[in-house]
Amino acid sequence: MPKFLIDEKEIEFQTGQTIIEAARDHGIDIPHFCWHPKLSVSGNCRICLVEVEKMPKLMIACSTIASEGMVVHTQSEKTLEARNAVMEFILINHPLDCPICDEAGECKLQDYAYSHGEGESRFTEEKNQKEKHVQFGPQVMFDGERCISCSRCIRFCDEIAKDPELTFVQRGDSVTITTFPGEELDNPYSMNVIDICPVGALTSIDFRFKARVWDMSATKSICTGCSRGCNIDIWVRNNEILRLTPRHNEEVNSYWMCDYGRLNTFKNVNAETRVDCPQLRREGKLVKVGWDEIYAETASRIKSFAKDEVAFLGSAHATCEDNYLLVKFARTVIGSGILDFMNHIDPEFGDDLLKQNDVAPNSMGAKLAGISPLKSGLNFEGIIKAIREGKIKALYILEDDVVSANPHLENIFAKLDLLIVHSSNYNNTTALADIIFPAAAIAEKNGTLINFEGVIQRIKPAVVTIDTDRALDGMEMSRLDKFGTNFDRWATGVKRDARASWKILTGLAGALGHKMKFNMAEEVFSEMSNQIEAFKGLDYDDIGETGVKLNVKFLEQKVNA
């Protein structure tokens, strides 16, 4: 590979790379505002100026192609003077409203003003004033005074979202960004412009003024809006999720996520509809009970049925670990092979960028974990038919609101003698249930999900439940990272009495006289990796923060089977 010198360090580069790209590949940071690795080069912020020997003037690193033998200086006196001048120019009209700006704490302009600025301004005239609080669309607010005209948002709409909605208008010190006449910023990925805006010019209407970034914990997790499984950070304060932001993973979602996943996949965790404790239906009404009582009552009632009268529905919304334990519980504790799950396909949801028509996050994982009928068993449609005919009298549903997806099932489920449901929130299915177990939401537990391409990825608890808090109490610091937590254990917000479904099933199996010795999700996954071919040799450390691609040929054979 060709090489060049940068700050007296020799680095290799790929033909066609720019200076900033080559430097980035080797961990050398060149300041930049307008450049983004997934957008075209605009070269208008000038903060990436570097000195290249034998060049008559300073060059911008974002558009200058690296060449063999080139000698680049990013810290020379000439470069630093120019960089300081650029910062002074950018800050001439920028308002000093950092204390009230949502971007404070993660703002490139703040960082660069500290590391590359002079710390003072010679500008004594009145700052230029532009429009404030301009709503570009249903999700994005614009503050013209903060904008530094980097054009990232314009290029994103043109090149990534493929929906040109923003443009520059005016010239000189009056230049600003606006939507085209008759347009608004409402494409399905509009909120990505907030993430890539290097200052606080574009902010989220949903998150606006809710919290300071340093007041929140950020936990790496996975979006559950569809089978893409976009990598995200979950931002929490006082045990309440306030926002989701995309996390870079080039193999899954690059730098982006859709607005639907960003706004709709965490609201159930904070909702007032949460199932806050175990409940039994007595005399037609749901009654709150303790865990020991619900285990004993469920065990007593489920034992009254023959094994071929009990059916189980797994879930493409639950983790691999939850589904695996359901399979084990159904087949080894109850002795039933009547097991399947419902597909969630929305033919109008998907697109050519990220969104998939399969709007459940773990359809592949449910199949690989064993949620499928035995040869002697029934599939989803067969289970419903058997309930209608009175052959199946008890149904166990794992974290899926099947009635809302199929309203006609309300009358059919009324024929059941026993309906047991795991759910994080009240819904149309829990309204019919005889027994409700409060299941931990995705943001409250450890586990794995497998996306539509066969990439297995980890989720970690970002929100504390009573059970999580108890599990962490007294845990050695060396094990906390293994547990996967990155939240504030001493959060002052509401802690719900919910448990991961695999843990609920472990407790219920014990009440039925079958001991399952699992204390952590990692132990369930360890057994899966020993028992199921698709997971052979894997553990949580192997999966890491960006996931692992499973054997594609094996997956195709398994899914087709």
**Are 166 and 150 within 8 A, CB to CB?**
no
- Concatenate the DSSP letters of all residues of 155-189 into one string: HHHHHTS----EEEES-GGG-EEEEPTT--S-STT
pLDDT in tens, 307-366: 999 999 999 999 999 999 999 999 999 999 999 999 999 999 999 999 999 999 999 999
CATH code, domain carrying 367: 3.40.50.740
CATH code, domain carrying 62: 3.10.20.740
* 176 and 289 share one domain: no
Last residue of a domain, one of 239, 269, 299: 269
Which of the residues in the chain have pLDDT under 70?
Answer: 375-376, 469-492, 552-561
Coil, helix or strand at residue 237: strand
* 302 and 366 share one domain: yes
* 490 and 403 share one domain: yes
Give the model's pLDDT for residue 391.
96
**474 part of a folded domain:** no
CATH code, domain carrying 244: 3.30.70.20
* 297 and 264 share one domain: no
**475 part of a folded domain:** no
* 445 and 314 share one domain: yes
Give the model's pLDDT for residue 142.
98
* 152 and 255 share one domain: yes
Number of domains in the chain: 3
For residue 293, the enclosing domain spans: 279-460+485-560
Coil, helix or strand at residue 262: helix
Last residue of a domain, one of 269, 301, 329: 269
How is the beta sheet containing 240-246 ordered, strand by strand?
Answer: 217-222, 231-237, 240-246
Last residue of a domain, one of 269, 302, 332: 269
* 55 and 163 share one domain: no
Entry pTM: 0.94
Coil, helix or strand at residue 321: helix
Give the model's pLDDT for residue 557.
61
**515 part of a folded domain:** yes
* 176 and 149 share one domain: yes
**205 part of a folded domain:** yes
**118 part of a folded domain:** no
Give the model's pLDDT for residue 477.
46
How wide is the angle at C-alpha 193 spanned by C-alphas 139 and 41, nearest 5°? Answer: 160
Give the model's pLDDT for residue 486.
55
* 169 and 226 share one domain: yes
**Are 492 and 239 within 8 A, CB to CB?**
yes
**111 part of a folded domain:** no
Considering just the CA atoms, what is the radius of gyration of the chain in Å?
27
Buried b (16+ CB within 10 A) or exposed e, 340-351: bbbebeeeebbe
* 547 and 404 share one domain: yes
**169 part of a folded domain:** yes
* 217 and 296 share one domain: no
pLDDT in tens, 32-89: 999 999 999 999 999 999 999 999 999 999 999 999 999 999 999 999 999 999 999 9
**191 part of a folded domain:** yes
* 260 and 295 share one domain: no
Distance, in Å, from the CA atom of 48 to the CA atom of 86, rounded to the nearest integer, reads: 10
Residue 267 φ then ψ, to 5°? -65, -30
